[in-house]
Amino acid sequence: MSSSVPSASDSPVIATARRARAAAADLAPLPRTARDAALQAVSDALLARSAEVVKANAEDVARARANGTPDAIVDRLTLTEERIAAIAADVRDVIALPDPVGEVVRGSTLPNGLELRQVRVPLGVVGIIYEARPNVTVDAAALCLKSGNAVLLRGSSSAYASNTALVEVLRDAVAGAGLPADAVQLVPGESRDSVRELMTARGLVDVLIPRGGASLIQTVVNESTVPVIETGTGNCHVYVDAAADPELAVEILVNSKAQRPSVCNAAETVLVHEAVAERFLPRALAALTEAGVTVHGDAAWQRAGEAAGVPVPAATDEDWAVEYLSYDIAAAVVPDLDAAVAHIRRWTSGHTEAIVTADTAAARRFVSRMDSAAVMVNASTRFTDGGQFGFGAEIGISTQKLHARGPMGLPELTSTTYVVTGDGHTRG
Amino acid sequence: MSSSVPSASDSPVIATARRARAAAADLAPLPRTARDAALQAVSDALLARSAEVVKANAEDVARARANGTPDAIVDRLTLTEERIAAIAADVRDVIALPDPVGEVVRGSTLPNGLELRQVRVPLGVVGIIYEARPNVTVDAAALCLKSGNAVLLRGSSSAYASNTALVEVLRDAVAGAGLPADAVQLVPGESRDSVRELMTARGLVDVLIPRGGASLIQTVVNESTVPVIETGTGNCHVYVDAAADPELAVEILVNSKAQRPSVCNAAETVLVHEAVAERFLPRALAALTEAGVTVHGDAAWQRAGEAAGVPVPAATDEDWAVEYLSYDIAAAVVPDLDAAVAHIRRWTSGHTEAIVTADTAAARRFVSRMDSAAVMVNASTRFTDGGQFGFGAEIGISTQKLHARGPMGLPELTSTTYVVTGDGHTRG
């Protein structure tokens, strides 16, 4: 099932994937100017046709309200003229980014005179499975177009009308700019079966990127035979070393936990060296409590809570394991740095860990013993982000080790190919 | 199941994987000198203890002979003092290679003063599943040690005695050099169940690399929940363009097909532009026949065969799809370059394709429309090889697009981590 040649037995999802494969073949050789022109057309069309998108979105919003969907989720689902203008502006920002396609990653002239170049090329067909955020529809399509990939969009059924309208606008704009409309397609069907078909379309889809909650990501990782890039789960730790300045450590901790607790780079556990515990725990408890955070602590933290008159529920293994995504944090005192390392290696999801220390040797030891996508030294865990890292765009944050780790920008949406040029070279 | 902490319910395979995980944590922070010293100890020990390895190998060889194993496979299985000396020399070559660990892949100082570095780190635990080639046991272990990874070796049961003896030598040497012996382990058990356990040890094993025949690789790709790097299947094509010099094209074709037909970078199909067919086909048929190659041809090739008195069986879809790995080649005449591109994109396994042409525009068009790990311009497909590319070592040739594509050297056995250093940075 690796061909773009249609077959009579194709289901709607497979037929869509085959069209994407054919579009990808047409996209791959296009120069940057052609892809950028299509993105400009997309940005213009979003502005020109925002009214019809808002109208379609209103159907989804009304249905969500009727179903009793929580306000926060309805808000994420809602599109307004202003929000669409902001999305269109994001597309123009993508145009300005460097072209990842065609970059020569390495090259040399071999002893026999063969010229070897390793060149970035599009992955081909990228599938994105995501939740009820219609802005992702445009963001993902723009990043895929920029990197020369065809995209298959599988959003939440609760945003189906919005996504259908958006994709119609995108396809018209892409086709108007002379690119294949099938570079951007919605995966047909609102049922789980269509997701399952997408996950097993090995040979037609080059990579699947799930964006959303932990259960969505786990399902895709476990059931997909198409290669997956695992994103987003963040059980992040802050370790306050013996040599930490307590004030600085409190600032970093509170920022890591409470600046935006619902995101994957928020801290979920704090570990404190016992040498600094006496000075640190009371300040940390006060600051966390003021920020509205509940501490789930070990015996030392519970004693500190008792002394401060702050309730500190006992932390269990579940607290060490969980990604709260809320105003909660697990907390323990450890005898030394190595104990912190051991705790983190045992419980981390491999996203981001931070150490707060004035001791360079401690920082080096900690960094070299972590097994995560990002390690912060004297900085908040919240900085693990494509925008913060200066990548200009982000398709997700990978917590796997293969292909891409950490924030993924445009280069992570490419593969490479070796181009070898000779003048009749044969092997002896 | 992501922890190195043992559990009473662990099977022997899982217990082995957990020990590998613990060893990987100890290996990761080690400097190059420590890893190189261990490799030197391995090389020395192989020479010093070759007699006991040869003795163990003799058991495997005797059993293989008794089972009626073909001579070619018995030969691959056989170890002699000389072969062990060559393997030990290969280990010393690995010592001399540049260290992939710690390489700063990119870095910048962010506008807020945060220092960002993306650094190569070991993958962690690498599983290798391979056939009855005991030299792979040492090669794979050496490349994994050099790149700071713990390795789990799952060789063929028909080489179990050889592998057991080799791994004992390796572990003693590694431990004698002060590294954890569990950096090198044989996966226990000779049954298929132990392979299945390895393939589902997600969280304990970071990557599986199957090395061997197509059916082994397909099984691992389909059944593994551990990330896999797909290697080796090569349905490689040679396209002879209208602007090809027929003599040069014949040389490249015969070298691509017949220099060593049993390997993945050998050509399996030749496509010829109709404008050059009349001059090319008779010469190609003569040269291929002289090299012992049977051509499975389309109507044009069959007519040429008839004219030359060479039997040319009719090519079917099976011929376009198959990786012969033998003195056979599928052959067709195509109306133009784009038809060759369409044929190749339909049937290729994504390994290596070659174009023979004197026309730079044709070369550019062909290269930009391929979707394979390597594209040769006026050179034999046989050059897709880590040694030929100057990588100094090769753990396999990836035909997938994620993480690694084409010959994989030491950098492909690493991941990266972002190290971010500040002085109390928090996000506003």
Q: What is the pLDDT of residues A389-410, one digit of tens each?
A: 999 878 999 999 999 999 999 9
Q: Under an 8 A CB cutoff, do B378 and A252 touch?
A: no
Whether residue A292 is predicted with pLDDT greater than 90 in this model: the reply is: yes
Count chain A–chain B contacts defined by CB atoms under 8 A: 213
Q: Where are the alpha helices (DSSP H) in A177-308?
A: 192-199, 214-223, 246-258, 274-290, 299-308
Q: Residue B332: which H helix or E strand, with range? A: strand B328-334
Q: Under an 8 A CB cutoff, do B370 and A116 touch?
A: no
Whether residue A4 is predicted with pLDDT greater than 80 in this model: the reply is: no
Q: Residue B90: which H helix or E strand, with range? A: helix B81-96
Whether residue B419 is predicted with pLDDT greater than 60 in this model: the reply is: yes
Single-letter amino acid, residue B351: H
Going from the C-alpha of B127 to that of each of A364, A417, B36, the distances in angstroms are: 29, 25, 21
> How far off is chain A from B53, nearest CA to CA, in Å?
33
Residue B422 backbone zone (phi > 0: left; psi -120 to 50: alpha; other: beta): beta
The mean of the pLDDT values for chain B is: 95
Write the pLDDT tens digit of every residue in A53-66: 999 999 999 999 99
Q: Which structural domain, as residue segments, surrounds residue B116?
A: 12-230+405-421
Residue among B421, B423, B427 minimizing CB distance to A380: B427
Beta bridge partners of B255: none
Helix/strand/coil for A188: coil
Q: Which residue of B has its CA nearest to A358?
A: B423
Q: Under an 8 A CB cutoff, do A251 and B384 touch?
A: no
Residues A267 and A381 in one domain: yes
Q: Which residue of A has its CA nearest to B254?
A: A426
How does strand B115-122 pair with strand B104-109?
Answer: antiparallel
Taking CA A349 as the corner, what is the angle to CA A344 and CA A350, rounded to the nearest 5 degrees? 80
Q: Which residue of B has its CA nearest to A404?
A: B403
Phi, psi of A220 (to 5 degrees): -65, -45
Quote the DSSP letter at residue A271.
E
Assigned domain for A34 exists? yes
Predicted pLDDT of residue B192: 82
Distance CA B394, CA B396 (A): 5
Q: Under an 8 A CB cutoff, do A252 and B416 touch?
A: no
Q: Residue B407: which H helix or E strand, with range? A: strand B406-408
Predicted pLDDT of residue B98: 95
Distance CA B196, CA B420 (A): 39
Give the least confident one: A199-203, A217-221, A385-389, B82-86. A217-221
Beta bridge partners of A240: A272, A356
Q: Under an 8 A CB cutoff, do A389 and B427 touch?
A: no
Chain B residues in contact with A106 (beta carbon < 8 A): none
Assigned domain for B426 exists? no
Q: How many CB atoms lie within 10 A of CB B106?
A: 12
Q: Under an 8 A CB cutoff, do B379 and A116 touch?
A: no
Residues B294 and B156 in one domain: no
Q: Are residues B125 and B148 in contact, defined by beta-carbon separation less than 8 angstroms?
A: no
Phi, psi of B290 (to 5 degrees): -60, -35
Whether residue B362 is predicted with pLDDT greater than 90 in this model: the reply is: yes
A116 vs B: CB within 8 A: yes
Residues B95 and B204 in one domain: yes
Instruction: Place A3 in a pLDDT band, splitting at 50, 70 and 90.
Output: low
Write the pLDDT tens digit of every residue in A65-109: 999 999 989 999 999 999 999 999 999 999 999 999 999 999 999
Q: Under an 8 A CB cutoff, do A378 and B422 touch?
A: yes
Distance CA B27, CA A369 (A): 9
Residues B51 and B129 in one domain: yes
Taking CA A105 as the corner, what is the angle to CA B99 and CA B227, rounded to the nearest 5 degrees? 65
B374 vs A: CB within 8 A: yes
Assigned domain for B396 exists? no
Write the pLDDT tens digit of every residue in B309-334: 999 999 999 999 999 999 999 999 99
Residue among B29, B384, B390 minimizing CB distance to A369: B29
Residues A408 and A345 in one domain: no
Residue the block writes with tokens 């394991």: A321
Write the pLDDT tens digit of every residue in B146-197: 999 999 999 999 999 999 999 999 999 999 999 999 999 999 987 888 899 9
A163 vs B: CB within 8 A: no
Q: Under an 8 A CB cutoff, do A375 and B417 touch?
A: yes
Whether residue A160 is predicted with pLDDT greater than 60 in this model: the reply is: yes
Chain B residues in contact with A320 (beta carbon < 8 A): none
Residues B194 and B160 in one domain: yes
Whether residue B5 is predicted with pLDDT greater than 70 in this model: the reply is: yes
Predicted pLDDT of residue A291: 98
Beta bridge partners of A116: A108, A420
Q: How many CB atoms lie within 10 A of CB B338?
A: 12
Chain B residues in contact with A377 (beta carbon < 8 A): 419-422
Chain A residues in contact with B405 (beta carbon < 8 A): 415-418
The mean of the pLDDT values for chain A is: 95
Assigned domain for A203 exists? yes
pTM greater than 0.90: yes
A105 vs B: CB within 8 A: no
Q: Which residue of B has its CA nearest to A347?
A: B3
Contacts of B140 (CB under 8 A, 6+ apart): B126, B128, B130, B151, B153, B211, B395
Most distant CA pair in chain A, distance: 82
Assigned domain for A395 exists? no
Predicted pLDDT of residue A2: 57
List the structure tokens of B211: 């090395």
Single-letter amino acid, residue A395: I
Predicted pLDDT of residue B393: 79
Strands across the sheet containing A207-211: A184-186, A150-154, A125-130, A207-211
Beta bridge partners of A421: A115, B377
Distance CA A290, CA A292 (A): 5
How does strand B125-130 pair with strand B150-154?
Answer: parallel
H, E, C per residue of B134-200: HHHHHHHHHHHHHCCCEEEEECCHHHHHHHHHHHHHHHHHHHHCCCCHHHEEECCCCCHHHHHHHHC
Residues A222 and A254 in one domain: no
Q: How many CB atoms lie within 10 A of CB A191?
A: 9
Distance CA A117, CA A158 (A): 46
CATH number of the domain residue B311 falls in: 3.40.309.10
How does strand B125-130 pair with strand B207-211?
Answer: parallel
Residue among B29, B368, B423 minimizing CB distance to A378: B423
Assigned domain for B397 exists? no
Q: Are residues A162 and A55 in contact, defined by beta-carbon separation less than 8 angstroms?
A: no
Instruction: Place B2 in a pLDDT band, splitting at 50, 70 and 90.
Output: low
How does strand A150-154 pair with strand A267-273?
Answer: unpaired
List the structure tokens of B88: 């030990």
Residue among A379, A419, A422 minimizing CB distance to B420: A379
CATH number of the domain residue A147 falls in: 3.40.605.10
Average pLDDT over residues B91-116: 96
Q: Where are the alpha helices (DSSP H) in B246-316?
A: 246-258, 274-290, 299-308
Average pLDDT over residues A248-253: 98
Per-residue b or e along B24-35, where b marks 16 or more CB atoms closer than 10 Å to that residue's CB: bbebbbbeeeeb
Assigned domain for B126 exists? yes
Closest CA to B245 of B354, B337, B357: B357
Phi, psi of B69 (to 5 degrees): -65, 140
Residue among B29, B378, B419 minimizing CB distance to A422: B378
Q: Are residues A16 and A152 in contact, defined by beta-carbon separation less than 8 angstroms?
A: yes
Sign of the C-alpha dihedral, residues B357, B363, B366, B367? positive
Q: Are residues B382 and B259 in contact, defined by beta-carbon separation less than 8 angstroms?
A: yes
Whether residue A265 is predicted with pLDDT greater than 90 in this model: the reply is: yes
Closest CA to A53 of A165, A149, A159, A128: A165
Q: Are residues A399 and A349 in contact, defined by beta-carbon separation less than 8 angstroms?
A: yes
Residues A195 and A341 in one domain: no
More confident residue, B217 or A154: A154
Residues B203 and B283 in one domain: no
Distance CA A230, CA B227 (A): 11
Per-residue b or e along B202-238, where b marks 16 or more CB atoms closer than 10 Å to that residue's CB: eebbbbbbbbbeeebbebbbeebbbbbbbbbbbbbbb
Q: Under an 8 A CB cutoff, do A377 and B422 touch?
A: yes
Sign of the C-alpha dihedral, residues B321, B325, B326, B330? positive
Residues B262 and B244 in one domain: yes
Q: How many domains does chain A have?
A: 2
Beta bridge partners of B150: B125
Q: How many CB atoms lie within 10 A of CB B299?
A: 12
Q: Under an 8 A CB cutoff, do B116 and A389 touch?
A: yes
Chain A residues in contact with B225 (beta carbon < 8 A): 221-222
Average pLDDT over residues A158-174: 97
Quote the DSSP letter at residue A266.
S
Going from the C-alpha of A39 to that of each of A54, A84, A97, A396, the distances in angstroms are: 21, 15, 12, 20
Closest CA to A157 of A57, A60, A13: A60
Beta bridge partners of B356: B240
Residues A18 and A166 in one domain: yes
List the structure tokens of B326: 């033998």
Residue the block writes with tokens 């051991």: A342
A34 vs B: CB within 8 A: no
> How far off is chain A from B78, nearest CA to CA, in Å?
26
Chain A residues in contact with B346 (beta carbon < 8 A): 3-5
Closest CA to B87 of B163, B26, B22: B163
Closest CA to B117 of B108, B128, B126: B108
Distance CA A187, CA A192 (A): 11
Predicted pLDDT of residue B311: 97
How does strand B396-398 pair with strand B406-408?
Answer: antiparallel
Q: Are residues A130 and A151 in contact, defined by beta-carbon separation less than 8 angstroms?
A: no
Q: How many CB atoms lie within 10 A of CB B385?
A: 18
Phi, psi of A403 (to 5 degrees): 75, -60
A384 vs B: CB within 8 A: yes
Whether residue B265 is predicted with pLDDT greater than 80 in this model: the reply is: yes
Predicted pLDDT of residue A261: 95
Residue among A118, A252, A371 minimizing CB distance to B424: A252
Phi, psi of A267 (to 5 degrees): -75, 145
Q: Under an 8 A CB cutoff, do B227 and A388 touch?
A: no
Residues B171 and B51 in one domain: yes
Instruction: Place A281 in a pLDDT band, splitting at 50, 70 and 90.
Output: very high
A327 vs B: CB within 8 A: no
> How far off is chain A from B256, nearest CA to CA, in Å?
8
Predicted pLDDT of residue B7: 83
List the structure tokens of A81: 């003229």
Chain B residues in contact with A419 (beta carbon < 8 A): 367, 374-375, 377
B360 vs A: CB within 8 A: no
Residue the block writes with tokens 């808002």: A54
Instruction: Place A321 in a pLDDT band, splitting at 50, 70 and 90.
Output: very high
Assigned domain for A19 exists? yes
